[in-house]
A = this chain, B = another copy of it.
C-alpha cells in the first residue's frame, strides 16, 4: 500500500506521517507540499532527523494517480475544492482532512466558510467520516471528509443522548476549549507566544465554521436538532480539546443510567472510553493518542446534564481519525497502527 500526503509541512501532515510511517500495511509514504519542494522533509521538521529521508515533492496529479493508493489531503481551506475533482476518474481513494467536503448543503458551506463550495459531483460522492457513527458507509467510501476537531469531540459527546432523545433538542450548549496547535503551523498575532501564554481567549463567537458540521451530524441522529450554541476558547497549551456540553434532560435520569447508555452505545468503539461515575477526563489523559474520553453527570438541581468529551486535536481530531478511517476503508482492523497509550505526564 502506497499512500500520499499533500500538505505534509503542516501539523496535520506531520502527525499523519508519525502514524503512517509505523503502520504495518503502509509500504511507502510519499510527501507533497506546494510551499516547499525538493527539500528534505527533515529540514522542515528536524525532529525527524535520521528518521525520514523523504524529499518533499511537488504535487503532480498524474504521478499520484499512477503511484498512490490512498491520498491524504492535509491542506488549507479551498485546496480540496481544486484537487479532488481531478481524481474522480481514478482509483485513488481520498481522505480529506480540510473542512471543504464536510457540509452536504453547499449554501451552508458558502455561508460559514465564505468561499465557493466544491462541485456537486464531489459532494455527492463524499462520505462523512466520523468513524464511530458511520462505519458501514466509511468502509465503502472512496472519497472521505474527515471530521473537524471540535465536531469530533462534540458529536461523540452528544450522540447517545441525541439519538435516544434524552435531551431537549433546543437546549444544547457547547463550550469548547482548544490548545493552540489547532490553529496550525502558520504564524499569526493570535498564536504569537507572548500573546497566548498565560491567557484565555474566546474567538469566532457564534461564528465558528464547525457549528454547521456539528448540527448536520446531530440532525442526522435526531431531526429535532436545528441550532446549537457553540463557542471556542484558545488555551495556553499545544494539544488537546475539551468540549463541555450542557443540555436539559427530557425527564429524570441518573448519572449511572446515562453512563450505562454511553457504554452500550460505544461498546464496539475501541477509541471511545466512557469514564467511571465521578471521574471526568482531562485533555492530558488522551495526549498523543486516538482516544475520545467521555465523562458526564446529571445535575438534579437544574435538570441538566454536563457531558465532557476530550480528544487530542491532532489525533482523534485530525490525523488519528484519518488513519482510523483509512483502516476502515481498506478492510484493516480499525485499531491497526493506532492503538497506543497516551503519553503521560
C-beta contact mask, A42-75 vs B, less than 8 Å → 1, else 0? 0001111111000000000000000000000000
Q: Determine if A115 is an interface residue (Cβ-Cβ < 8 Å).
A: no
Q: Which of B11, B49, B285, B344 interacts with A345 by CB under 8 Å?
A: B11
Please measure, in the bound complex, the distance between the C-alpha atom of A127 and the C-alpha atom of B297, giving whole angstroms: 35
Contacting pair B343 A283 (CB below 8 A): no
Q: Give which listed residue, B21, B48, B192, contacts A193 with CB less than 8 A.
A: B192
State the CA gap A236–B267 with chains docked (Å): 33
CB within 8 Å for A200 and B306 given contacts A187-B189, A273-B49: no
Tell me the minimal C-beta distance from A270 to chain B in angstroms: 8
Among B282, B306, B340, which residue has its beta carbon within 8 angstroms of that of A231?
Answer: B306
Q: How far does the alpha carbon of A239 sit from the alpha carbon of B343 in the complex, in Å?
A: 11
- Say if the beta carbon of A104 comes within 8 Å of chain B: no
| From A192, A200, A295, residue with most partner B Cβ within 10 Å | A200
Q: Which of A179, A188, A192, A242 has the most CB of B within 10 A?
A: A192
Residue A144 CB within 8 A of the other chain: no
Q: What chain B residues lie within 8 Å of A284 (beta carbons)?
A: 47, 195, 198-199
Contact with B along A9-31 (1 / 0, CB 8 A): 00100100010011000000000
Asked, given contacts A11-B345, A18-B343, A48-B341, whether A240 binds B194 with beta carbons under 8 Å apart, the answer is no
Q: Are A227 and B301 in contact (CB under 8 A)?
A: yes
For residue A233, which residues in chain B have a CB less than 8 angstroms away from its CB? Answer: 177, 242, 244
- A117 close to chain B: CB less than 8 A: no
Contact with B along A271-296 (1 / 0, CB 8 A): 00101000111111111110001010
Which residues of the partner chain B approach A191 to less than 8 Å between Cβ atoms?
Answer: 192-194
Say how many copies of this protein the assembly contains.
4
Taken together as a complex, chains A and B put the C-alpha atoms of A203 and B340 apart, in Å, by 27
Whole-angstrom distance from the CB of A32 to the nearest CB of chain B? 19
Q: With an 8 A cutoff between CB atoms, is A202 at the interface?
A: yes
Closest B-chain residue to A172, C-beta based?
B302
| Bound-state Cα–Cα, A340 to B51, Å | 9
Question: What residues of B have a CB within 8 angstroms of the CB of A344 in the complex?
Answer: 14, 18, 45, 47
Q: Do A280 and B181 touch (CB < 8 A)?
A: no
How far apart sit A23 and B229, CA to CA, in the bound complex (Å)?
Answer: 45
Instruction: Tell me which residues across on chain B come within 8 A of A326, comparing CB atoms.
Output: none
Roughly how many angstroms separate A302 CA and B215 CA in the complex, as a whole number? Answer: 12
Q: Is the CB of B237 within 8 A of A200?
A: yes
Contacts of A192 in B (CB 8 A): 185, 187, 191-193
7 A-B contacts (beta carbon < 8 Å): A11-B345, A47-B341, A49-B273, A199-B283, A200-B310, A202-B242, A229-B302
Which residues of chain A have a CB within 8 Å of any CB of chain B? 11, 14, 18, 21-22, 45-51, 170, 173, 175, 177, 179-181, 183, 185, 187-189, 191-203, 205-206, 227-229, 231, 233, 235-240, 242, 244, 246, 273, 275, 279-289, 293, 295, 297, 299, 301-302, 304, 306, 308, 310, 340-345
Q: A47-B341, A233-B244, A343-B343 are in contact. List 9 more A-B contacts (CB 8 A).
A: A11-B345, A48-B341, A49-B275, A187-B189, A191-B193, A202-B295, A206-B301, A227-B302, A235-B235
